[in-house]
């Protein structure tokens, strides 16, 4: 065998072993908490704590953000093309959600308006989270993956989103939902979980 090829295979094996070890780290109980009958896990996208039946996408009133960015075209387009395209899109209402029936199911949370100076406000996130939980009841969703809405493209803090989520779970008491995966970066995971743990302790006390 070519020595270079052998070295490549060995390197690949080491990377797979490393990823497996890291996966185990993110699966430990210290990154999971429970409120009522709902388990909440905090983990980066590359280390899923469990499979999910639905995925929340952070979106704006024109659906140009997030995983389903409508401005992704096969060829490069000039700036005027995107400007015209935005003007012809149907404008959605901040705070609403759109459920796309796929596997996993997609729930688009409309929490931004790019025409506003502050593209996101806390009221829209509160409305969206309430409707997301309602959607889990309507569509019998047991597990959900969601970003911390409003914290990536705007100035909402993770603590604010966590508070909104916990309040909604306490008031609405989902019927089917029993697992929520909060997606963070590896760097944020510890601090987000610490905030979740702190707020849950407050809810229980």
Mean pLDDT by 10 residues, the chain (205 residues): 52 57 56 92 92 95 65 46 58 93 93 88 97 97 97 91 96 94 93 93 67
Q: Is residue 43 assigned to a domain?
A: yes
Per-residue confidence (pLDDT) for residue 115, from 0 to 100: 82
DSSP 29: G
Residue 67: the pLDDT is 47
Helix axes of 158-172 and 186-204: crossing angle, nearest 10 degrees: 40
Query: Could you tell me if residue 24 is inside a domain?
Result: no
Residues 101, 98, 155, 118, CA torsion sign: positive
Q: What is the total residue count of the chain?
A: 205
The DSSP annotation for 158-174 comes to HHHHHHHHHHHHHHH--
| 22 occurs within a structural domain | no
Domain membership flag for residue 2: no
Q: How many domains does the chain have?
A: 1
Quick one: angle between helices 122-138 and 158-172, nearest 10? 40
- Do the Cβ atoms of 30 and 42 come closer than 8 Å? no
Place of tokens 């980066």: 44
Q: Is residue 4 part of a domain?
A: no
Evaluate whether residue 5 is within a structural domain: no
pLDDT of residue 14: 56
| In-domain check, residue 16 | no
CATH number at residue 83: 3.40.220.10
Q: Which two tokens stand for residue 7?
A: 């070295």
What is the rounded distance in angstroms from the CA atom of residue 151 to the CA atom of residue 9? 40
* The token pair that represents 67 in the structure block: 């995983």
Q: Which two tokens stand for residue 87?
A: 């003007």
> What's the pLDDT score for residue 36?
87
Distance of CA 36 to the CA centre of its chain: 21
Short-list 130, 128, 133, CA closest to 95? 128
Position 81 scores a pLDDT of 46
pLDDT of residue 49: 92
Residue 1 lies in a domain: no
Cα–Cα distance, 38 to 35 (Å, whole number): 5
Query: What percent of the chain is helix, strand and coil (3-state, nearest 5)?
Result: 45, 20, 35
Contact call for residues 17 and 11 (beta carbons, < 8 A): no
Q: What is the pTM of this model?
A: 0.78
Domain encompassing residue 109 = 29-204
Question: What is the Cα–Cα distance from 153 to 107, expressed in whole angstroms?
Answer: 18
């Amino acid at each position: 065998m070519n020595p270079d090829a052998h070295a490549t295979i060995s390197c690949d094996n080491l990377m797979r072993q490393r990823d497996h070890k890291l996966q185990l780290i993110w699966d430990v109980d210290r990154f999971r908490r429970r409120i009522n009958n709902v388990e909440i896990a905090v983990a980066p996208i590359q280390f899923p704590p469990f499979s999910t039946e639905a995925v929340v996408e952070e979106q704006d009133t024109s659906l140009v953000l997030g995983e389903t960015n409508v401005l992704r075209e096969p060829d490069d387009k000039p700036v005027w093309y995107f400007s015209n395209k935005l003007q012809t899109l149907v404008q959605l209402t901040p705070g609403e959600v759109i459920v796309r029936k796929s596997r996993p199911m997609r729930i688009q949370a409309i929490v931004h308006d790019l025409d506003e100076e502050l593209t996101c406000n806390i009221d829209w996130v509160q409305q969206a989270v309430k409707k997301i939980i309602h959607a889990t009841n309507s569509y019998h969703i047991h597990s959900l993956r969601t970003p911390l809405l409003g914290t990536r493209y705007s100035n909402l803090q993770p603590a604010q989103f966590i508070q909104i989520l916990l309040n909604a779970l306490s008031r609405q008491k989902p019927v089917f939902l029993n697992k929520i995966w909060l997606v963070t970066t590896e760097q944020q995971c510890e601090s987000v979980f610490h905030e979740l743990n702190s707020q849950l302790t407050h809810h229980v006390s």
